[in-house]
Structure 1
Amino acid sequence: MFIELDLQSETPIYAQLVDQIVEGIASGALQPGDPLPSVRRLAEDLGINLHTVNKSYNLLKQEGFLQVHRKKGVIVQPDGMPGVTEAFEEKLRQQLRSLAAAAAVRGMTEEAFAQESRSVYRNTITNRGGEQR
């Protein structure tokens, strides 16, 4: 699994880790049932605190992206990903509202914002074979 963290970013490390794992699932790089490194192993590999990895894994477990087994360890949810809920839609609206406001302040048009959003979405879900999932 390829994770690249920006230790100078204002985005917390645990949030970067969560985002990259979700992106890996969305792109198909991580498949249902795929094992992830243990908390200790990933922390050691990335050179970060194990509590940071643990926080990320717990958030992903709560959101339904991961399962934690005593014998199997941490795996990508094998029983299907969580669906769109009202809570998710509200979180999405809040994040989009903030991004749209920043774009508008910088002079970006609505169409340019929409086009960039479409482009990011399509690039995120395009798997290695070039097909959309």
Structure 2
Amino acid sequence: MYIEIEPQSEVPIYMQLAQQIMEGVANGQLLPGSPLPSGRAFAADLGMNMHTVNKAYHYLEEKKIIEIIPKKGVFIHADGLREATAEEKERIEQELRPILAEALCLKLSKEEMAQMIEKLMRNIQGGVK
């Protein structure tokens, strides 16, 4: 899987890494049980600080996308692809709310927003940036 970090982005580097790993899971490039490099090795490969990788890993671990097993390694969680719980659906809804409010301020129509979502889903599932 190819990871592309944009240092000039407003999105923190750890979040860019976490998002790209999630996309890898979503599009099937990273399957449940697949190993990921150690934080130290991944940081060296990507030319970034080990703490940045660890922050991304802990973020993904909280979301049950990855599993960190002491003395064994980091793996895509067996439940990395799963049905969302009611709490997870509520969290996603709350995270989308400000984006939707901005879209409405920009007078994007429901159809335009639906097209954007469809396009993004196709891109993620097809592994396209």
Q: TM-score normalized by structure 1?
A: 0.84
How is 1:89-108 mapped onto 2 (pairs within 5 angstroms)?
Answer: 89-108=89-108
Distance 1:123 1:106 in 2: 24
Q: Which residue pairs with 2:11 in the alignment?
A: 11
Q: Percent identity?
A: 43
What's 1:84 paired with? Answer: 84
Q: Is contact 1:64-1:81 (8 Å) kept?
A: no
On the 8 A contact 1:36/1:74 being kept in 2, the answer is yes
Distance 1:80 1:120, change over 3 A: closer
C-alpha separation in 2, matches of 1:23 and 1:80:
11
What's 1:27 paired with? 27
SS in structure 2 of the partner of residue 61 of structure 1: helix
Please state how far the C-alpha of 1:68 moved relative to its aligned partner.
Answer: 1.7
Task: Work out whether residues 66 and 80 of structure 2, in 8 Å CA contact, stay in contact via their aligned partners in 1.
Answer: no
Which runs of 5 or more residues in structure 2 are unaligned? none
Per the alignment, do residues 95 and 70 of structure 1 end up closer, same or farther by CA in structure 2, a change over 3 Å counting? closer
Match of 1:131 in 2: none
Shift of 1:70: 3.3
RMSD: 2.0
SS in 2 for 1:74: strand
DSSP-derived class of the 1:67 partner? strand
Alignment of 1:1-133 (within 5 A): 1-78=1-78, 81-126=81-126
Distance in 1 between residues matched to 2:116 and 2:44, nearest whole Å: 36
Instruction: Give the total of aligned pairs.
Output: 128
Secondary structure at 1:75's aligned position in 2?
strand
Q: 1:79 to 1:90 in 2, by over 3 A?
A: closer
Counterpart-to-counterpart distance in 2, 1:102 and 1:34: 37
Please give the alpha-carbon distance, in whole angstroms, between the structure 1 residues aligned to 2:102 and 2:52: 29
Give the CA deviation at 1:83: 3.4
Tell me the CA shift for residue 82 of structure 1: 4.6
